[in-house]
Amino acid sequence: MNKPITVKCPTCGAPVEWNDKTPTRPFCSERCKLIDLGAWAAEEHAIPGDPVVDDLFSEDLSRH
């Protein structure tokens, strides 16, 4: 029998088994999942890279 894969919850660090019985993986709970989502929404997390210029929603300051 294979040993289950265990990862750390990215929010609280609790051990989480990586299998179909853990629907919130890699998070240990729905609470930790929502805390992480809130951090993304508050822009506390970001994917590194160059800023994206969106012509539709960006204001053209040269016209003012």
Binding residues for Zn(2+): 9, 12, 28, 32
Burial 28-57 (b: 16+ CB within 10 A, else e): beeebbeebeeeeeeeeeeeeeeeeeeeee
Query: Is residue 24 classed as helix, strand or coil in its secondary structure?
Result: coil
Per-residue model confidence (pLDDT) at position 47: 86
State the CATH architecture for 1-45: 2-Layer Sandwich (3.30)
- Tens of pLDDT along the chain (64 residues) come to 688 899 999 999 999 999 999 999 999 999 999 999 999 999 898 888 887 777 777 666 555 5
- pLDDT in the model for residue 3: 86
Give the angle subtended at the CA of 38 by the CAs of 45 and 5, to the nearest 5°. 75
How many Å separate Cα 25 from the centre of its chain? 12
- The pLDDT assigned to 63 comes to 55
Burial class of 27 by CB neighbour count within 10 A (0 to 12, 13 to 18, 19+): buried
Binding residues, as ranges, are: 9, 12, 28, 32
